[in-house]
Amino acid sequence: MTSETPAILWFRDDLRLSDHSALHAAMETGRPVLPVFVLDDGSGGSQASGGFRASGGASRWWLHHSLAALRQSLASCGTRLILRRGDSAGTILDIARQTGATDVFTGGLVAPGARQVDRAVAAALDGTLHRMRTTTLFHPDSVRTKAGGAYSVYTPFANACLALGGPKPTLPAPKSIRGAEPIESDRLEDWNLLPAKPDWASGLRDTWTPGEAGAMERAEAFLDHGLAGYAAARDRPANDGTSMLSPHLHFGEISASQLWHMAHRRQAGPARDMFIRELLWREFCANLLWHHPELPDTPLKPEFGKMPWRDDKPGLKAWQQGQTGVPIVDAGMRQLWHLGWMHNRVRMIVASFLIKHLMIRWQDGEAWFWDTLVDADLASNAGNWQWVAGCGADAAPYFRIFNPVLQGRKFDSDGDYVRHWVPELSRLDPRHIHAPWDAPADVLNRAGVVLGKTYPKPIVDLAAGRARALAAYAVIRDRA
DNA sequence: TGAAATGTTGGGGCG
DNA sequence: ACGCCCCAACATTTC
């Protein structure tokens, strides 16, 4: 038994030491700090839906490395990260009982499952659960319409955020932390978060540096070198024009507030504003999930419950594997598989293709993204899938059906993105690479492409798929 | 943060 | 010189 009871710092989607209000508050108690992370396979760990949802494979890979980095930073501050696996609420309560701690500090998450866990802890804890804001710019309840309601349209929401004048100043990382007497901890390596058989993570290793230091490095590189060309480059998937900060943000290795303030220290201009607006899209999705716990499973527009979705297992599988025969779609899905990440423009294209051309329910796409994205985030993932499907808040109009060939020609005009991820088409010229089925036989021959053999024929005729989607939407619209 | 169909306009070829 | 047609370019509307 230690002589002094600790303040428990419960890390969740905020795996950093800088700008960490819960860490700051725990230290301010003057008591020794006991940093804890709980892996909750049953109740969703970091994020959970109305029920519970465990992290996907790519997220688990990231989590492993991020925790290793956090453990290292805590060690250099002189304290140990305690790892426990089990039911979140029960585990935290156990630790509190074991150590005699009365105060638990943690970030406030927007996911309904996490809020449920918080309620359970707060109710049973012999003391206080301090829920601090560590993942969003503002508390969801502090951004409300004049009438006190929740925003359902992005632009007024963003304007309301901007009118708040930005988030509070960020907090520095502590140089040292007076750690509590360590208690028993799992070994991170025993959690088996990394894929073993087969090891599919080599592309992830080559692309990402999880952890607070990697996040800061990526942020500074982007703000110093990427911001200037952001407006044009961010829509071209062959360029590294986006910030690629999404997984760092999801795991809270860098806070949205830090990025906001870092961006504001750079030169003012349209590129900076555009980047801030992207941060606010993330904030908007978090706000939506806070106000609509059913967001991950249920269309916000109820008439979409009547949509005559197709049950198409082979189609879903072809989409997942990047074998649809539509080059830009396949390129995106293969990039996702290799990097655990996909360019934002292409996410919209592949999502539109699944939902509209294939008429497969958006929840199936959302689930695949959840499992394969390193930035899988319940609020952003569900919010954006609903946005594309047309059934969400401030959603794309239902008739906005991307033509993947035109999107490819517009945003990958030289074909380099497809060429990189779909190498069997790499010898096709920019004119034909986005629609090989329209290429003359001799062009295909010279490029070594045999449709149906070296590369699939399209699994759906684009014009027919579009017509089918419009017809289906017309039915539910009339019924609404 | 669409695409396709339809409508309008204006320049140029041509009888 | 004129009317007619064609059609590209752009605008509007429809899905």
Whether residue A335 contacts residue A244, with contact meaning beta carbons closer than 8 Å, is answered with no
pLDDT value for A478: 78
**Could you check: is the Cβ of residue A403 within 7 Å of any atom of nucleic acid strand B?**
yes
Residue ranges of domains in chain A, CATH in brackets:
7-135 (3.40.50.620), 136-170+203-292 (1.25.40.80), 302-479 (1.10.579.10)
Query: Nearest protein residue to C14's C1' (by CA)?
Result: A399
Whether residue A385 contacts residue A379, with contact meaning beta carbons closer than 8 Å, is answered with no
**Could you check: is the Cβ of residue A283 within 7 Å of any atom of nucleic acid strand B?**
no
Long-range interactions of A468-475: CB distance < 8 A, separation 24+:
A468/A359, A469/A355, A469/A356, A469/A357, A469/A359, A469/A401, A470/A399, A470/A401, A472/A307, A472/A308, A472/A359, A473/A307, A473/A390, A473/A398, A473/A399, A475/A306, A475/A308
pLDDT tens digits along A332-347? 999 999 999 999 999 9
Q: Which nucleotides of C are covered by protein (CB under 7 A)?
A: 15
Query: A41: pLDDT confidence band, cut at 50, 70 and 90?
Result: confident
Decide if pLDDT at A196 tops 80. Answer: yes
pLDDT tens digits along A225-260? 999 899 888 999 999 899 999 999 999 999 999 999
Strand-pairing partners, residue A214, are none
Decide if pLDDT at A44 tops 70. Answer: no
pLDDT value for A240: 86
Nearest nucleotide by C1' position to the A470 CA atom: C15
Decide if pLDDT at A1 tops 60. Answer: no
**Helix A362-372 vs helix A57-76: crossing angle, to nearest 10:** 40
Residue in this structure with the two tokens 């939506």, named with its chain if needed: A288
**Could you check: is the Cβ of residue A224 within 7 Å of any atom of nucleic acid strand C?**
no
CA of A406 to C1' of B11 (A): 29
- Give me the phi and psi of A95, to 5 degrees please: -65, -40
Q: List, edge to edge, every strand of the sheet that includes A128-132.
A: A82-85, A33-39, A7-11, A103-107, A128-132
CA of A463 to C1' of C11 (A): 24
C-alpha A109/C-alpha A118 separation (Å) is 9
pLDDT value for A3: 67
**Could you check: is the Cβ of residue A11 within 7 Å of any atom of nucleic acid strand B?**
no
CA of A248 to C1' of B15 (A): 71
Decide if pLDDT at A46 tops 70. Answer: no
Decide if pLDDT at A93 tops 70. Answer: yes
Whether residue A284 contacts residue A290, with contact meaning beta carbons closer than 8 Å, is answered with no
CA of A85 to C1' of B1 (A): 41
**Could you check: is the Cβ of residue A470 within 7 Å of any atom of nucleic acid strand C?**
yes
Report the predicted TM-score, pTM, of the whole model to 2 decimal places.
0.95
Residues of A forming the active site: 278, 281, 309, 344, 362, 385
**Could you check: is the Cβ of residue A397 within 7 Å of any atom of nucleic acid strand C?**
yes
Over residues A168-193, the mean pLDDT reads 97
Query: A48: pLDDT confidence band, cut at 50, 70 and 90?
Result: very low
pLDDT tens digits along A371-425? 999 999 999 999 999 999 999 989 998 889 999 999 999 999 999 999 999 999 9
CA end-to-end distance (rounded Å), chain A: 64
Q: Which nucleotides of B are covered by protein (CB under 7 A)?
A: 1-4
pLDDT value for A477: 82
